[in-house]
Every structure is written in structure tokens, then in C-alpha cells.
Amino acid sequence: MEKETWEQIGERLARELEDVRPENLWTFFREHREELITEPKPFALYMRSKLRDKGLLQQNVFLAADLSEGYGYKLISEEKHTRRRDTVLRLCLGARLSPEELREALILYGMAPLHARFPRDAVLLAAFRSGMYNLWDVNELLIDLRLAPLREEDKQKTPPFPPQRWERGRRASGMMKNHNYTKEDDHGVLQRTREAG
């Protein structure tokens, strides 16, 4: 019999919990104590497990996510916490997670999972589902659809995608005429502004 994944265990426990009354929760906890997450850093445990299963090196994941190794290690071990969902999404992109694994990772990190009713989230879900794990390609797709690219942390000054791709994306989407894109904020994030006239 195949070992259940984190996601399958969560789904099974959620189904069983539907029939549990509040006064019977201690029994539920006792019966499932081996399956409940009681670790203080569940995201770190989950990500290490996924990288091991996929045979990925952490350094390669950080490189693909365009994160420095030091910062990436602190994030993946939960030594440092970020409030930016984009940073965690980039880490998950670098780890080549499936949409189901991505949902689990975001929840374990304490962030809202992607929701298909939000256009930007829908694009990201489609990218993960189709196996588009290249950060630059994902950002180009977002820009082509006139949505904000996945941004970097405040302390990083590198642009979220190579300039030549930026120009190609603007031309392909027909945005050259109506918008002027400049590096405006302190974080190196390209902001869209209307041209006068």
C-alpha cells in the first residue's frame, strides 16, 4: 500500500472531522495523534520532505526562485518569516510544487491559498498546473495579461525579470502605447503609470 501524502492525510482528516461533534474532539485527537501537525515549524518540515521526494537541492530551488541562498535557507527553515505571499510563491515555484502541494505549503506557512476567482491567482494556478516553473516566464505571462509580476522582498534590488523580456512582453501585449513602465519604488519593482495625453 502506498504511503499517503500530506495532502491526502489532510483531506481524509477533514472528511472524518465532518462527523465529529465538539465534545468528541479529544477522542479525534487521540485517534489521530500521529497524523496531526504539532511541529512548531510545519512549513519547514513540509518543504524539506517535498524537496527530498523530488530530488531537488535547496540551492537550485533558491536560484530558480531568484532568492539569495542565505535568505532562502532562513525562509525554508522558518528562521525568518515573510509577510509577502509572492516570496513564498516564488519559493514554491522553484520547488516545482503541484497546485495541491502549493495549497498545502501556503496554508502551512500561514498564508491564504490561491483562489481561482482572483485573476492573478488564476494565472498562477494555471502556471503551476501546466508545469510552468520558470519565474521569468511566469512574470512575463502576468505582465502580458496586465497583472503584477511576482515581486521580490523589500531588501532585494534586482528586477523581477530580465529587461529584454520586459520589452518583449510589453510589445506582445500592446501596452507600449498606453502605459509607461518605470522603476519607481524603493524595492526595485517596476510600476505601471499612465502617460500624459
* Strand partners of residue 192: 181
Query: Would you give per-residue pLDDT tens digits along the chain (197 residues)?
Result: 677 887 888 889 899 989 889 888 899 889 988 888 888 889 999 999 999 999 999 999 999 999 999 999 999 999 999 999 999 999 999 999 999 999 999 999 999 999 999 999 999 999 999 999 999 999 999 999 999 999 865 444 444 444 444 444 444 444 433 444 444 344 444 445 544 44
pLDDT reported for residue 99:
94
**Amino acid, single-letter form, for residue 35:** E
pLDDT reported for residue 174:
43
Single pTM value for the model: 0.69
C-alpha cell at 172: 506582445
pLDDT reported for residue 124:
97
pLDDT reported for residue 152:
64
CA–CA separation, 46 and 76 (whole Å) = 9
Q: SS3 of 192, please?
A: strand
C-alpha cell at 140: 512575463
pLDDT reported for residue 92:
96
- In a 13 Å sphere around the CA of 103, the CA atoms on its Cβ side amount to 13
Where along the chain do its domains lie? 1-36, 40-156
